[in-house]
Amino acid sequence: MTADRADAMGRGSMSMSQPDSPIFARHPDRNSITIDGDANEKEGGRSESSSATLLEMDMDDGPRKQDYLDVEKQAGDGSRPRDKARSSRARLTIWMTLNTVATVAIVFTNKAIFDDPSFRQSQVAFATFHLFITALTLYILSLPRISLFVSTPMRLRPMLPLATAMCLNVIFQNLSLTYSSITFYQIARILFTPMVALINYLFYQKSIPRNVAYTLLPMCLGVFIISYYEPKSTHHPEAEQTSMLSVFLALTSVFIGSIYTVWIASYQRKYEMNGFQLLFNQAPIGGVMLMVLIPWTDKLPSVRTAPVDKWVMILFSGGLAALINLSQFFIIAGAGAVSSTVVGHVKTCAIVALGWIISRRPVTDRSAFGVILAITSIVIYTIIMMKQTKTTS
């Protein structure tokens, strides 16, 4: 959410060598997807942002088609097929653009909020706000008049572990963004892909093709190079923000987010729920859990003394989170897992590039090689997985 599924966020969800893999396989009744990561890309690192989007992290197996709004019917039964297809593509392009812009914007907005000392110690309260925004958005989308998905209530007890993991995931994403440069924060999220693959291998005995495994090595190497040189860099104003604490928070965020990703896939299969239904059950529980902790964990800023523009940014961040959730729905419904993953990589590249430009870092910065290596590896990984998916299907 905050920083952004979410973000989650990537946040790399195409099928692996075994068709029943909880993360990398396509469910027989649902389209698999990832985060932002991110993923979120979820496995793939939800490399997308973001902390901004939990929804992307909850969409590993994808919503079932019958839960989606039939977009073509809205165009009218009397229109010709070509007109319908053209109209659908145009609407899908708009939603993809909105999702990309909102995801990039929420990362930079949240970063600007946390740069203010008066809000830096309000991590739990900020996460609570985003969870309630997510719950409200999904509630509106599930209303009979809109009915973009059918809500499926679950008992509290089985949801508590998943809601707890979600809360930790959001908070550590926010902390990672707070104490890191935007470039390092986003690149570190690429580690979602190898981390999820490792967890699946160790605990679920799910292997991946050898050529896919080879792409994970340079991916990890790229992040390692950035982690080594980023704290040592003195060429840009953001250098002081990235320290060994930043590296620790980023890696912890990836570890918790990867476990959360694996659990999501497990819950979706076990309870036969899509990502929207599952997130709709998690968000209110997580929000209440965090709200109880606020008096003991946060030092809330004074409404009178805190800058007015920061309050405006907080409201803007909540609106962006709602827009990300809504647009992600139409992207998955209209484009499927592959296109959604590609959109995730576009967001990753955009955030990294903008973060690099804003920090005024030279191209010759030693961590630049790590950035290029990590992004190139995740792109090659995606291409191989796309081919693997076509072969297995």
Q: What is the pTM of this model?
A: 0.75
Q: 51 phi and psi, to 5 degrees? A: -50, -5
Q: Residue 248: how many CB atoms within 10 A of its CB?
A: 14
Token pair 């009397």: residue: 78
For residue 337, the SS3 value is: helix
Task: Please provide the DSSP assignment of 137-179 as one string.
Answer: HHHHHHSTTT-SS------HHHHHHHHHHHHHHHHHHHHHHHT
What's the Cα-to-Cα distance from 21 to each of 162, 269, 385, rounded to whole Å?
19, 11, 14
Q: Are 335 and 96 in contact (CB under 8 A)?
A: yes
Q: What local confidence, expressed as pLDDT, does residue 7 receive?
A: 41
CB-based contact 3:48 (threshold 8 Å) = no
| 65 Cβ contact partners less than 8 Å away, ≥ 6 residues apart | 31, 333
Q: What are the φ and ψ backbone dihedral angles of 175, each rounded to 5 degrees?
A: -65, -40
- Token output for 107: 């990362």
Angle at 100 between CA 189 and CA 350, to 5 degrees: 60
Instruction: Return the closest-CA partner of residue 82 out of 90, 338, 95, 93.
Output: 90
Distance CA 272, CA 207 (A): 24
User: Which residue in 316, 326, 313 sits closest to 94, CA to CA?
Assistant: 326
Q: Spell out the alpha helix ranges (H) of the chain.
A: 54-57, 71-74, 81-114, 117-120, 123-142, 156-178, 182-188, 192-204, 210-229, 244-271, 275-297, 308-358, 368-392
- Residue found by looking up tokens 């647009």 in the block: 327
The dihedral built from the CA positions of residue 84, 90, 96 and 102, taken in this order, carries a sign that is negative
Length of the chain: 393
Q: Report which of 123, 261, 146, 240 is spatially closest to residue 196, judged by C-alpha positions.
A: 261
Per-residue pLDDT of the chain (393 residues; tens, 9 = 90+): 444 443 433 333 333 333 333 333 334 343 333 333 333 333 333 444 444 445 455 444 444 444 444 444 444 455 566 777 777 788 888 988 999 999 999 999 999 999 988 898 899 999 999 999 999 999 999 999 988 888 999 999 999 999 999 999 999 999 999 998 898 899 999 998 899 889 988 988 888 888 888 999 999 999 999 888 877 665 555 444 567 888 899 999 999 999 998 999 899 889 998 888 999 999 999 999 999 999 999 988 888 888 889 999 999 999 999 998 888 878 877 766 566 677 888 888 899 889 888 877 776 677 888 999 999 998 898 888 888 777 776
- Assigned token pair, 24: 């990398």
Q: Report the Cα 107 to chain-centroid distance in Å.
A: 11
Q: Is the dihedral of CA 110, 373, 196, 12 positive or negative?
A: positive
- As given in the structure block, the two tokens for residue 247 are 């590296």
Rounded CA-CA distance 259/287 in Å is 20
- Give me the torsion for CA of 346, 27, 383, 17, rounded to 10°: 140
Query: How far is 326 from 337, CA to CA, in rounded Å?
Result: 16
Cis peptide before 102 (omega within 30 of 0): no
